[in-house]
Structure 1
Amino acid sequence: MTWHLRLGHPGPRVLEHLVNHSLGARIKGITTVQCDGCGQGKAKRQISRATRTTEMEPGDRSPKYILDWKSPYERFHEGLAGKDNDSPTRIQRPNQSHLKVYGCKAFALTRGSLKGTERTRKLAPRAWIGYLVGYDSSNIFRIWNPVTNQVVRTRDVVFNEEQVFSGSIDMIKNDLAQVDLEQLKEWLNANTTEDKSIAEEEEEEDSEAQSTGATVVSTTAAFEDEGVTEVIDEEEEEILDSITVKGDHTSTFEDFYPTPPQTPPPGDLLAAAFHGMRISKYTSPPVRRRRRVEPWHAVFHAGTQSSPTVVESTQATRAEVARRQRKPPRQSAGSATITIAEINVARAQPGSINNLHQSQLPAPPKRHHDLVEPHFPVINPRKGKPRHQRHPLADLFLQAERDHLQSHEKTGSWEEVSRHSDQIQGNQILDCMWVYTYKFNTRGFLAKCKARLVVRGDQQRVNHAEENYAATLAVRSFRAVLALAARFDLELKQFDAVNAFVNAKIDEDVYMEMPTGYRRPSRVLKLKKALYGLRKSPLLWQKELTATLTKLGFKALPHEPCMMIRKGCLIFFYVDDIVVAYRKNDSHIANAAISGLKAKYELTGGEDLRWFLGIEIHRDRARRYIWLSQTAYIDKIAELAQSDDLPRTPMGLRELPPYEGIATRQSTRLYQRKVGSILYTAVITRPDVAFAVARLARFNQNPGPEHHRAADQVLRYLHVTRSLALRLGGGDYLRVASDASFADNSIDRKSSQGYAITLFGGLIAWRASKQDTVTTSTTEAELLALAQAAKEGLFIQRLIAEMAIKLDDDVLVLECDNTNTISLVTKEIAVLQTKLRHVDIHNHWLRQEYQRGKIHVKYVPSKKMVADGLTKALNADNHQEFVRMLNLEDIQLLT
């Protein structure tokens, strides 16, 4: 019976043929069928128009008598194979393993469950209830929500094929019988947003198909222009969310249930039952009206974005259709500050295109469709606004596409194969997409337009046994190398590997659709190189580069795989950014390594290190100082602040309390963006805001207005002090300072702790955090902080030794401002009176390392303790002294 329903209600003769010809491995001995749907004239398979976009209907996959017991799918591919001279005629039977009973109940995971943000809310819904209406692929299902009238594309879903949607209200009410409405109202705060209707999406798809069809050319013909693009050094855009939502608001439910035509839709029946609203007969098109989603709806759209339900009332019928509320769109081609005419004038003058500032440019195109001329009316009469306009810099981006494809042709990144060849059978064909961005010079003016082809690696089947992890350079290791460069006056040369991933060969069979705008019928690409987007590409490139450097005589550091050394030459890399550090008398080793890399890869650069991952590097070789600055980045994130204050400190002295209310989704996202932006500066070059951002991060899940004001204060402080740069150099020692603030968190009474590690006069590592456990005394809190600082210091000590650097003192010096803690570690008869086993373990470990002669603990007063500002908020005068001890200096005064 299950397969009878899955295959679209075939008769006994069809099922018998499936059994006899082994077309249904799970069908055993079915000769008669008793189905209520068949008795009622076979239940209609399409619940909504959204099912028209399904990958393949069950009826197209079932064998039919009129087709000589072949399915339409099989006959179609037989005819297609006959037209394709490159493909042999072979039997292609449809894959039916993923089919489920049409209209069965589905439990789809919520967004919060997928992202892991609801783990602390034990009673929060983990899934919402919907019904299967189609397939987008073998593992992506289309789930219909009868309450919000939405169709959601999702992969993470569980089906109950014994329950099929029948249109009855009682069926849905029973699902909510045990739900407490007040609890649901407290758990979920469902916001109403607007999504594209099916009709709008179909129009856009048709438009895109027409545009793309007009630009289909041979791949070889598209590679005629010379030139190879650089690797994009900006962070690539996120490819796709794991779930996308599409709402159908243009069609009535009349199409869903044609018998009788006056029967209102179940979703509206529910709304009427609970809200007392009148549902009119379908004598006129329904009018949309937005209303707040009630708590009982939460089960059906928990974790999804709901759309307005189609409901009619006397008042709504006389009113105009409410305008859809959308999020403020990003600047697009149609709203650009520079027009196509201005671009053409600029291109007519040599060099003028490079005079365009980033503030004048429109947002980069999102897809290839934005680069082609529209082949349909520009104005959408239904909305009265432009439907599609060509991007003002479309010609430059199209040229960037051709240059990028030509570079792939030179490297042999793929080969064309027939879609119907035997080697493809059983293999997944991944989609691809174009990613566009601008390249600016150091002054913010346009240097070039860039395009990159990215594989849809998110579509790859997950293989948990496969190794995909690729190491990246730790920022503390980067600062440690620059501290060495400042102390020993090392040369620093920077290089960039063009199309780095493409240099690595792929170790499995991967097939990809041809790029949008350059596709050919019945042809796909078999990848030979690791393209951007594949899960294993970073790892394959790391192995490739490491193997090349190993052949050149370099050895990787055990504690930092992204650093390799050969005698007096050190090479470190972050993906495609490569830096060579060496003494002048070891220049022959460095030049040999650079020549070896250039012989195998296309490298650009070779100048002195000035920028690395958005960090500006200043150098005074006469005094042997290096400064690290993030002025440009701070100017960018300062726009997030909703204040114009000029604070002298990043945080006030008063502790921030939790927010008593419930933050909106928009408020939470904005707050998290602020905190994340501050955090990046705090871990790279600005330890003076480390404590502040550690405090702010505790309210990420439910921020209030006071927390927003506190985050704005940090942003404004960073902007006021944006010229401060972290100075490295000026010393000959390794020092580790630790401090703790006992029970300073009034909510859970856990202590704050921090450490700061100084190498050759420059701060290379620091941390401000809250201890994982509650301690019962200041001594215990200081002891836990000292243990963490000691472990980090020993790691840095081993890392320096692997770089062939010999320190004057092999003993690690720890600085502490608590005499009782020092006594517990250094005195032989000192005993810690505690019943906390984890504290006692840390105490014994510190005593062990002290007795082995690996560490030495030194007393430093709190006023001279550099880690003191990492554990508490300071007033203006003390904070100024803290900044001085961190060696943060105004780079503008120095230059």
Structure 2
Amino acid sequence: MSPPPGLRRQGESNLVCRLHKSLYGLKQASRQWFAKFSEAICSAGYEQSRADYSLFTRKRDKSFTALLIYVDDILITGNDPASIVATKKFLHSNFRIKELGNLKYFLGIEVSTSRNGIFISQRKYALEIITDAGLLGAAPIDTPMEQGLKLSDKSDLLRNSSQYRRLVGRLIYLTVSRPDITYAVHVLSRFMHQPRKLHMEAALRVVRYLKGAPGKGLFFSSNSDFRLRAYCDSDWAGCPLTRRSTTGYCVFLGPSLISWRSKRQKTVSLSSAEAEYRAMTGACCELTWLRYLLKDLGLSHDEPALLYCDNKAALHIAANPVFHERTRHIEMDCHYIRDKIQDGSVTTKYVTSAHQLADVLTKPLGKEFFVPMIHKSGVQDIHSPT
């Protein structure tokens, strides 16, 4: 920064400004703000979660209060209204806050509550994407990606690649509440550095799919047994460029979908069993983290989590701790699932491919398979006519 007028004196040309308080715009501003907030909220009796550092909880007898922060946006919930009011007064005395009432809109996510549960969607955000793409009057389609499509780098390069990057970037944030487009967006994000015409056509197809039901989202039922179960799957050598497989898994808490992922594996798998085994390990890691997170929220899981897989060879490898030549080349971290099976944290179970809910996260399906799978995953549209 330039020194203020009148600061320089004769013979004192090396004067600098000493920062007493971090301001917006500095690189360390967000870290300093979070450190100050954490210190203040912990002084009020809250404990910071080790599973998620942005989560703070406080337990006093039967009273439970949870606070979740994202930059300067805060969510407060709990079973004790008096504790929530006291927390808001404490925050207002330490920071200047503005209360927005009951949760309805948060970071682009629309929240609707009822006696039956909570429904989240990004309808307004999806409509903005459709409008910006110029497809508000386009005919909708039933699937986000054409069945069996394998995107490669054999078409012409786009002249304006920034438009593709902007569209895919916005679609990535839309996957927060739309697991039905997760796989398609994951594949499109592989070509951000050199997008081509074929990739842009595939991205616009996703937008046309959103046009059919922009208000789709996830429903979290109030009637739940709080049991963890997960489905994992992989598409062996699905990437035509690198021949690496795609891992997909989805995790349910009771009947509600709470976590999902579609990701290309880091190494090339030598068999479909190895690719499925790696997918099982990824799902097992997610189950372990969710178990820690739920414990901080006051939910302890004594029963093992169920992990469904449609590959019997991978199930046998996970259950058999004996060294075998078929597994000696697999990295040691992939055998993490064996320890979890032995200590009783996870139980594996075979499921047929027809009931494998993670299929929508590993490959493009046709309408006859895609629509039932999405419905079973809990994706709904409360805006559609009954």
TM-score in same-fold range (> 0.5): yes
Q: Retained in 2: the 8 A contact 1:662–1:702?
A: no
**1:764 and 2:258 equivalent?**
yes
Against the structure 1 CA distance between its residues 539 and 88, is the aligned structure 2 distance closer, same or farther, given a 3 Å change threshold?
closer
Identity %: 27
Against the structure 1 CA distance between its residues 665 and 531, is the aligned structure 2 distance closer, same or farther, given a 3 Å change threshold?
farther
Q: Counterpart amino acid of 2:15? A: G
Q: Counterpart amino acid of 1:737? A: Y
Against the structure 1 CA distance between its residues 796 and 894, is the aligned structure 2 distance closer, same or farther, given a 3 Å change threshold?
farther
Against the structure 1 CA distance between its residues 617 and 657, is the aligned structure 2 distance closer, same or farther, given a 3 Å change threshold?
closer
- What is the CA-CA distance between 1:626 and the residue it aligns to? 0.7
Q: Counterpart amino acid of 2:118? A: I
2:23 matched to which residue of 1?
531
User: Alignment partner for residue 707 of structure 1, among 189, 199, 204?
Assistant: 199
- What is the CA-CA distance between 1:764 and the residue it aligns to? 1.5
Against the structure 1 CA distance between its residues 819 and 842, is the aligned structure 2 distance closer, same or farther, given a 3 Å change threshold?
farther
Against the structure 1 CA distance between its residues 810 and 825, is the aligned structure 2 distance closer, same or farther, given a 3 Å change threshold?
same
**1:427 and 2:347 equivalent?**
no
1:672 matched to which residue of 2?
165
1:694 matched to which residue of 2?
186
- Structure 2: how far apart are the matches of 1:703 and 1:843? 33
- Structure 1: how far apart are the matches of 2:177 and 2:9? 64
1:716 matched to which residue of 2?
208
Against the structure 1 CA distance between its residues 656 and 818, is the aligned structure 2 distance closer, same or farther, given a 3 Å change threshold?
closer
**1:571 and 2:67 equivalent?**
yes
SS in 2 for 1:877: helix
2:300 matched to which residue of 1?
806
- Structure 2: how far apart are the matches of 1:580 and 1:658? 46
User: What is the RMSD of the two structures over their aligned residues, measured on CA atoms?
Assistant: 2.5
Against the structure 1 CA distance between its residues 722 and 882, is the aligned structure 2 distance closer, same or farther, given a 3 Å change threshold?
same
2:372 matched to which residue of 1?
881
Q: Counterpart amino acid of 2:111? A: I
- Structure 2: how far apart are the matches of 1:717 and 1:659? 24
Q: Retained in 2: the 8 A contact 1:742–1:751?
A: yes
User: Alignment partner for residue 852 of structure 1, among 318, 340, 343?
Assistant: 343
Q: Retained in 2: the 8 A contact 1:679–1:693?
A: yes
- What is the CA-CA distance between 1:664 and the residue it aligns to? 4.5
- Structure 2: how far apart are the matches of 1:818 and 1:656? 23
User: Alignment partner for residue 543 of structure 1, among 35, 52, 55?
Assistant: 35
- Structure 2: how far apart are the matches of 1:675 and 1:747? 20
Q: Counterpart amino acid of 1:805? A: L
Q: Retained in 2: the 8 A contact 1:727–1:762?
A: yes
Q: Counterpart amino acid of 2:171? A: I
1:157-216 superposed Cα distances (whole Å, 9 cap, x missing partner): xxxxxxxxxxxxxxxxxxxxxxxxxxxxxxxxxxxxxxxxxxxxxxxxxxxxxxxxxxxx
**1:602 and 2:93 equivalent?**
no
2:127 matched to which residue of 1?
635
Q: Retained in 1: the 8 A contact 2:155–2:198?
A: no
Q: Counterpart amino acid of 1:721? A: A
Within 5 A, what are the aligned runs for 1:49-88?
Answer: none
SS in 2 for 1:891: coil
**Aligned residues between the structures:** 377
Within 5 A, what are the aligned runs for 1:456-495?
Answer: none
Within 5 A, what are the aligned runs for 1:94-493?
Answer: 425-427=14-16
Q: Counterpart amino acid of 2:219? A: R
- What is the CA-CA distance between 1:536 and the residue it aligns to? 1.8
Q: Retained in 2: the 8 A contact 1:642–1:712?
A: no
TM-score by length of 1: 0.40
Against the structure 1 CA distance between its residues 845 and 575, is the aligned structure 2 distance closer, same or farther, given a 3 Å change threshold?
closer
- What is the CA-CA distance between 1:587 and the residue it aligns to? 2.3
**1:91 and 2:11 equivalent?**
yes
- What is the CA-CA distance between 1:886 and the residue it aligns to? 1.8
Q: Counterpart amino acid of 1:604? A: K
Q: Retained in 2: the 8 A contact 1:824–1:830?
A: no
- What is the CA-CA distance between 1:651 and the residue it aligns to? 0.3
Q: Retained in 2: the 8 A contact 1:775–1:781?
A: yes
User: Alignment partner for residue 363 of structure 2, among 858, 872, 878?
Assistant: 872
User: Alignment partner for residue 230 of structure 2, among 715, 721, 736?
Assistant: 736
- Structure 2: how far apart are the matches of 1:88 and 1:616? 54
User: Alignment partner for residue 174 of structure 2, among 665, 672, 681?
Assistant: 681
SS in 1 for 2:183: helix
Q: Retained in 2: the 8 A contact 1:688–1:882?
A: no
Q: Counterpart amino acid of 1:608? A: N
Q: Retained in 2: the 8 A contact 1:554–1:566?
A: yes
SS in 2 for 1:553: coil
Q: Retained in 2: the 8 A contact 1:726–1:889?
A: yes
- Structure 1: how far apart are the matches of 2:236 and 2:142? 26
2:270 matched to which residue of 1?
776
Q: Retained in 2: the 8 A contact 1:617–1:629?
A: yes
Q: Retained in 1: the 8 A contact 2:180–2:374?
A: yes
Point out 4+ residue stretches in structure 1 off by more than 6 angstroms. Answer: none
**1:582 and 2:78 equivalent?**
yes
Q: Counterpart amino acid of 1:542? A: F
1:753 matched to which residue of 2?
247
Q: Counterpart amino acid of 2:345? A: K
Q: Retained in 2: the 8 A contact 1:678–1:693?
A: yes
Q: Retained in 2: the 8 A contact 1:779–1:821?
A: yes
- Structure 2: how far apart are the matches of 1:645 and 1:659? 28
- Structure 2: how far apart are the matches of 1:632 and 1:598? 31
Against the structure 1 CA distance between its residues 636 and 817, is the aligned structure 2 distance closer, same or farther, given a 3 Å change threshold?
same
- What is the CA-CA distance between 1:680 and the residue it aligns to? 1.0
User: Alignment partner for residue 836 of structure 1, among 329, 336, 344?
Assistant: 329
Q: Can you give the 5+ residue segments of structure 2 that lack an aligned partner in the other structure?
A: none
- Structure 1: how far apart are the matches of 2:286 and 2:326? 26
- Structure 2: how far apart are the matches of 1:627 and 1:640? 26
SS in 1 for 2:200: helix
- What is the CA-CA distance between 1:818 and the residue it aligns to? 1.0
Against the structure 1 CA distance between its residues 642 and 659, is the aligned structure 2 distance closer, same or farther, given a 3 Å change threshold?
farther
Q: Retained in 2: the 8 A contact 1:823–1:830?
A: no
Against the structure 1 CA distance between its residues 89 and 797, is the aligned structure 2 distance closer, same or farther, given a 3 Å change threshold?
closer
- What is the CA-CA distance between 1:871 and the residue it aligns to? 0.6
Q: Retained in 2: the 8 A contact 1:656–1:707?
A: no
Q: Counterpart amino acid of 2:52? A: E
Q: Which has the larger radius of gyration?
A: 1
Q: Counterpart amino acid of 1:581? A: T
- Structure 2: how far apart are the matches of 1:789 and 1:750? 18
Against the structure 1 CA distance between its residues 88 and 798, is the aligned structure 2 distance closer, same or farther, given a 3 Å change threshold?
closer
- What is the CA-CA distance between 1:632 and the residue it aligns to? 0.5
- Structure 2: how far apart are the matches of 1:861 and 1:830? 28
Q: Counterpart amino acid of 1:859? A: Y
Q: Retained in 1: the 8 A contact 2:357–2:377?
A: yes
SS in 1 for 2:195: coil
- Structure 1: how far apart are the matches of 2:282 and 2:9? 68
Q: Counterpart amino acid of 2:339? A: Q
Against the structure 1 CA distance between its residues 631 and 88, is the aligned structure 2 distance closer, same or farther, given a 3 Å change threshold?
closer
- Structure 2: how far apart are the matches of 1:580 and 1:589? 10
**1:726 and 2:222 equivalent?**
no
Q: Counterpart amino acid of 1:802? A: D
Q: Counterpart amino acid of 1:534? A: L
1:746-773 superposed Cα distances (whole Å, 9 cap, x missing partner): 3322111101111232212111111111
- Structure 2: how far apart are the matches of 1:831 and 1:859? 22
1:217 matched to which residue of 2?
none
- What is the CA-CA distance between 1:703 and the residue it aligns to? 2.1
1:492 matched to which residue of 2?
none
1:517 matched to which residue of 2?
none
SS in 2 for 1:815: strand
TM-score by length of 2: 0.90
Q: Retained in 2: the 8 A contact 1:646–1:716?
A: yes
